[in-house]
Amino acid sequence: MKVAVVGATGLVGTRMMEVLAERNFPVTEFFPVASERSVGKEVTFKGEKYKVMSADEAIARQPDLAIFSAGGGVSRDLAPRFAEVGCRVVDNSSYWRMDPTKKLVVPEINADVISADDFIIANPNCSTIQMLLPIAPLHKRYGIKRIVVSTYQSVTGSGHKGVAQMEAERAGATEWGTYPAYYNYPIDQNVIPHIDVFLEDGYTKEERKMIDETHKILRDEKIGVSPTTARVPVIGGHSEAVNLEFERPFELQDIRDIWNRTPGVTVCDDPSRNIYPMPRYALGKDDVFVGRLRRDPSVENGLNFWCVSDNIRKGAATNAVQIAEVLVDKGFLPRY
């Protein structure tokens, strides 16, 4: 199988290559793609060095699969060109997610929507993926009326630039503008309640993504979703405080049992021993870790929980590779 990674020199692209290797995805020819300024640089895949090529060169080689992590504009322009040569595209940007002609997929939840006609498939937002993985089986069982979620998102969600700003500040940089500054304010020892651009209704685009993507993935427009997203000075993963209001009664032990049977979810919940999910310990892992499970006494059939996941892995790279694995399993990509 001929596989291209578009955005191979970026933070997520690098992780995509690692995940492809870890999961032994059947790659026979590998094409790392990046912007013109990166063409000719070397990247390592499965212990071998590869020179970064242009998108035009990769398209000419007619790959079977292209996994994108290069921004919405790049995906808008290049994904259709790859698809035109018969290449299946899994796109990590936000550009195609809400396109009604494109599928938005978390494989553990809705792999069934992928068909032979799908040549561009969208990877959801990282915050949406980690929230919906534990929520989806609960919605099937109890029916979710409303979700209130607050996110505490790692600087890795901003790529190399967000990490560089925090590291510069932790190294002692204090004079604004004299060091790499991706955010509007210092991030170290700070919390910034602002991810992506603000919309007219006062929500940010990141928050709107969580609303719209939840409806599309769960195939239920009636669910109320009220998100607040914030950036925190953390490397390791995103954290979320989630409040659910169900249509039907539930037992806490039944929730735990459902999660213990859900692929990709790990219950980490023992307050008596101070055991709960934390981003420090999610780093490098693919599961969504859930804990701090408790009833919400302020509303009938209400549940609170805390979840953590490595946003670069399950929130991006791993989910994209899992979509590609579904394409193989369904016979839409060649087996070698």
pLDDT tens string for the chain (336 positions)? 999 999 999 999 999 999 999 999 999 999 999 999 999 999 999 999 999 999 999 999 999 999 999 999 999 999 999 999 999 999 999 999 999 999 999 999 999 999 999 999 999 999 999 999 999 999 999 999 999 999 999 999 999 999 999 999 999 998 877 888 899 999 999 999 999 999 999 999 999 999 999 999 999 999 999 999 999 999 989 999 999 999 999 999 999 999 999 999 999 999 999 999 999 999 999 999 999 999 999 999 999 999 999 999 999 999 999 999 999 999 999 876
The reply to whether 244 and 221 lie within a common domain is yes
Name the packing angle between helices 126-142 and 205-218 (round to 10°).
40
Q: Check which CATH number belongs to the domain holding 84 and give it.
A: 3.40.50.720
Same domain, 94 and 153: no
Strands 120-122 and 288-295: unpaired
Q: In this structure, is residue 197 part of a structural domain?
A: yes
Q: β-strands 288-295, 144-153: how paired?
A: unpaired
Q: Is 87 annotated in the active site?
A: no
Q: Are residues 77 and 224 in the same domain?
A: no
Whether 157 maps to a domain, the answer reads yes
Indicate if 292 and 146 belong to the same structural domain. Answer: yes
Shared domain check, 108 and 13: yes
Q: Based on the fold, state whether residues 82 and 49 are members of the same structural domain.
A: yes
Reported pTM: 0.96
Integer angstrom CA distances of residue 22 from 37, 69, 88, 153, 177 = 28, 18, 21, 25, 40
In-domain check, residue 336: no
Using CA atoms of 143, 144, 145, 148 in order, give the dihedral in degrees to the nearest 10. 170
Report the length, in residues, of the chain.
Answer: 336
Identified catalytic residue from 87, 139, 238, 307: 238
Tokens of 305: 């929980």
Contacts of 330 (CB under 8 A, 6+ apart): 114, 116
> For the chain, what is the domain count?
2
Domain around 14? 2-124+316-329
What does each C-alpha distance from 88 to 32, 110, 169, 296, 319 come to in angstroms?
16, 18, 41, 44, 15
- The radius of gyration computed from the CA coordinates of the chain, to the nearest angstrom, equals 20
Domain with 301 in it: what CATH number? Answer: 3.30.360.10
The answer to the question of residue 334 being in a domain is: no
Structure tokens of 208? 């709107």
User: Would you call 126 a catalytic residue per the annotation?
Assistant: yes
Q: Which two tokens stand for residue 180?
A: 């790499």
Out of 126, 139, 268, 307, the active site residue is: 126
Q: What is the DSSP letter of 322?
A: H
Centroid of chain to Cα 121 = 14
